[in-house]
Structure 1
Amino acid sequence: MPKVTQSSYFSPGQISGDSVTQMEGQVTLSEGASLTINCTYSARGYPELFWYVQYPGEGPQLLLRATKPNAKESNKGFEATYNKETTAFHLEKTSVQESDSAVYYCALSDTVTGAAGGAEHRL
């Protein structure tokens, strides 16, 4: 049975209050079941939003990235919509497989003004 573990990554921008929140803990699903991992964010403006996946014995890999509000992104059967009204970026898959067993991380990135007046991109 696929085992999905969810975790959150908090941006260094959290100093300014930016953060992501998602369900914690492990979920065990039957093959063919649908999966939804909730992720909501709190940020000024519209941050870039990401889903990373970490398969057993491997490092995290980028799964989905959304740079614009209301964008719908998909990859490997997973999809997520950047919903600016509900500040959500939920990860969904209609039919999970054993190979989907992994840890899934929701993350955000913000752009802040640096001391020199330029833009600093932080993950």
Structure 2
Amino acid sequence: MSAKLNLSIIFSKSFMPKLTQISFLFPPGQTHGDSVNQTEGQVTLSEEAFLTMNCTFSTSWSPSLFWYVQYLGEGPKLLLKALTNKAKGSNKGFEATLDSSSKSFHLKKGSVEMSDSAVYYCAMSDTVIGTAGGAGCKL
């Protein structure tokens, strides 16, 4: 019988404004009454436990949704994304499906590991339709 180790997963909303500034900018003068809400605070789980991180959003347009992960001593990295309704993102055992009807993009993992200890951020952006002058945003 193996001993179960605890891991902590920390959730934060503080990254969203920084993400908006460096990755996605709305046209000048345009504002949206949009928001992203996710599980907050520190969550402690045993290894091999099932994990669900809630992410809901409020918007009147068709957004793209992203989950970022930030390991201790590192910068945030893209974990997964969904660009259209019902699109499913998956990476490293994590998965999330964008559901526009319930306005959710919940992150799930069937069996967490110690290496999953990190800060997780849910973020959204309007869909990128094209680029100006060939410049693009690479995540």
- State the TM bucket, normalised to the shorter chain: 0.7 to 0.9
What is the distance in 2 between the residues matched to 1:111 and 1:71? 13
RMSD over aligned CA atoms reads 1.9
What is the distance in 2 between the residues matched to 1:54 and 1:84? 26
> Residue 47 of structure 1 corresponds to which residue in structure 2?
63
Shift of 1:43: 1.1
Q: Is the 8 A contact 2:53 2:107 kept in 1?
A: yes
Give TM-score, length-normalised by structure 2: 0.75
The amino acid across from 1:29 in the alignment is L
Q: Does 1:7 align with 2:41?
A: no
Matched residue count? 113
Matches within 5 A, 1:51-90: 51-90=67-106
Structure having the higher Rg: 2
> Residue 117 of structure 2 corresponds to which residue in structure 1?
101
Identity of aligned residues (%): 59
The amino acid across from 2:69 in the alignment is V
Q: Does 1:17 align with 2:33?
A: yes
The verdict on how the C-alpha distance between 1:111 and 1:73 changes in structure 2, with shifts beyond 3 A counting, is closer
What is the distance in 1 between the residues matched to 2:49 and 2:112? 6
More strand by share: 1
> Residue 3 of structure 2 corresponds to which residue in structure 1?
none
Residue 99 of structure 2: SS of its match in structure 1? Answer: coil
What is the distance in 2 between the residues matched to 1:7 and 1:66? 20
Shift of 1:95: 0.2
What is the distance in 2 between the residues matched to 1:6 and 1:27? 8
What is the distance in 2 between the residues matched to 1:52 and 1:94? 18
The amino acid across from 1:110 in the alignment is D
Q: Does 1:37 align with 2:53?
A: yes
The amino acid across from 2:70 in the alignment is Q
Give TM-score, length-normalised by structure 1: 0.85
What is the distance in 2 between the residues matched to 1:66 and 1:76? 15
Q: Which runs of 4+ in 1 moved over 6 A?
A: none
> Residue 116 of structure 1 corresponds to which residue in structure 2?
none
